[in-house]
Amino acid sequence: MADISAKLVNELRQRSGVGMMECKKALVENNGDIEVAMEWLRKNGMAKADKKADRVAAEGLIAVAQKAGVATLVEVNSETDFSSRNEQFIQFTKDVANVALQTGINDIEALKAAKLGENTVEEGAKTLTVTIGEKFDVRRMAKVESEGTIGAYSHSGRIGVLVALKGGSEELAKGIAMHVAAMNPKFIKVDDVPADFLAKEKEIELSKMTDKDKAKPADILDKIISGKVNKILAEVTLVGQPYVLDGDITVAEALKKGGAEIVSVQRLAVGEGIEKVVDDFAAEVMKQAGLA
């Protein structure tokens, strides 16, 4: 009989939604084969659908691939930070980014369907799931193309940034990419700021003013509010922020000094927008024991 580990039992429990004892029995009956055990539970009416696809993959890596005139970012998610350090997973993520780069694909669904070796990228993710035992998801990609300079920066595989410049140097482009990774500006320049954002900020600043200030002439009041909003715009726009590599100048000044203009910026951070589920095993045990 195969040695049935607690980790294997727990994995089957997560996939099937069946209790720990039943999962262990299923694994014992099927010589530790989790796929056959899952099918056995279903045949015995103890499990409905395999829940592996419903598990949340909110960790993972961002991979960067670059060649002359083009660069790509790809986010591949895993369920745990531990598995994101697995060498097979790291290599898979790099390979997927290279597929995106070499094929010129812009769409994540097209990337999943693209060939990676003898299989597709999506099939490769499923194979990795079987091998490692976690759900993996090729979730997002980003791309920049430019006849000018492209800077790429990856921060420990957790954040990836691409910056395309007109003019400037590779050093400057990478420096701006590092800045974007660190500061995550909402907009590139003031012209990119939506009118509703400006209106909301003006409303907020007006509400913070005293009745005495609000009683001032309209033109003076408008100047006061505009001054406060302009400070906010400097904080939320890339070009208005102090440059992280030289705090004495803004990004706009760094660009001017380097003879460059920003063409496009792409930034991905692992797990953005994914709601992480935290299992409360203590509460689960209490519930099963009738103590909660």
| 260 part of a folded domain | no
d(CA 26, CA 200): 58
pLDDT tens-place string over residues 121-158: 999 998 998 888 888 999 999 999 999 999 999 999 99
Identify whether residues 47 and 69 lie together within a single domain: no
Identify whether residues 62 and 123 lie together within a single domain: yes
Q: How many domains does the chain have?
A: 3
| 175 part of a folded domain | no
Q: Could you list the residue range(s) of the whole structural domain that residue 16 is in? A: 6-54
| 185 part of a folded domain | no
Q: With H, G, I as helix, E, B as strand and everything else as coil, classify residue 44.
A: coil
pLDDT tens-place string over residues 2-38: 689 988 888 888 788 788 888 899 999 999 999 899 8
Of 5-9, 42-46, 199-203, 274-278, minimum mean pLDDT range: 274-278
Find the mean pLDDT for residues 67-73.
96
Specify the CATH number for the domain of residue 61.
Answer: 3.30.479.20
Q: What's residue 53's pLDDT?
A: 58
Q: Please say which residue of 113, 145, 177 terminates a domain.
A: 145
As beta bridge partners, residue 76 has 61, 138
Q: Per-residue confidence at 285, pLDDT binned at 50, 70, 90? A: very low
| 232 part of a folded domain | yes
- The yes-or-no verdict on residue 288 having pLDDT over 50 is no
Q: What's residue 55's pLDDT?
A: 64
| 93 part of a folded domain | yes
Residue 283 CB partners (closer than 8 Å, separation 6+): 292
d(CA 63, CA 65): 7
One-letter amino acid identity for 269?
Answer: A
d(CA 289, CA 20): 13
| 291 part of a folded domain | no
- The yes-or-no verdict on residue 281 having pLDDT over 50 is no
- Predicted model pTM: 0.75
Instruction: Work out the number of other CB atoms within 10 angstroms of the CB of residue 124.
Output: 22
Specify the CATH number for the domain of residue 42.
Answer: 1.10.8.10
